[in-house]
Amino acid sequence: MVLVEHSRSGMRAIGLTLPRAKALWEISHRESVTQRELADALKSTPRNITTLMSALWSYRRAIAGPFG
């Protein structure tokens, strides 16, 4: 449990939520993934995945700055 809490506090420190981290994990371990496959893997709906991907894109742009 200490490792889990340490991981969560580290994610919070950089503004990364658990659902976003899970999505990044799934995406990084596949050559390609459809929205439906990602939704199934995360036990979610394609609509939620759309929202999640939009949030990740905004997050990426925020941390990359104007030149990222």
- By residue count, the chain amounts to 68
Grouping H, G, I as helix, E, B as strand and the rest as coil, residue 6 is: helix
Q: What's the pLDDT score for residue 13?
A: 74
Q: What's the pLDDT score for residue 14?
A: 74
Residue 47 lies in a domain: yes
Residue 24 lies in a domain: yes
Residue 2 lies in a domain: no
| pLDDT digit string, tens, across residues 10-68 | 777 777 888 888 998 998 999 999 999 999 999 999 999 999 999 888 877 666 666 65
Helix axes 46-64, 18-28, angle to 10 degrees: 90
Residues 6 or more apart whose CB falls under 8 angstroms from that of 43 comprise none
CB count, 10 Å around CB of 59? 16
Structural domain count, the chain: 1
Residue 9 lies in a domain: no
Model pTM score: 0.69
Domain that holds residue 29: 18-67
Residue 11 is which amino acid? M
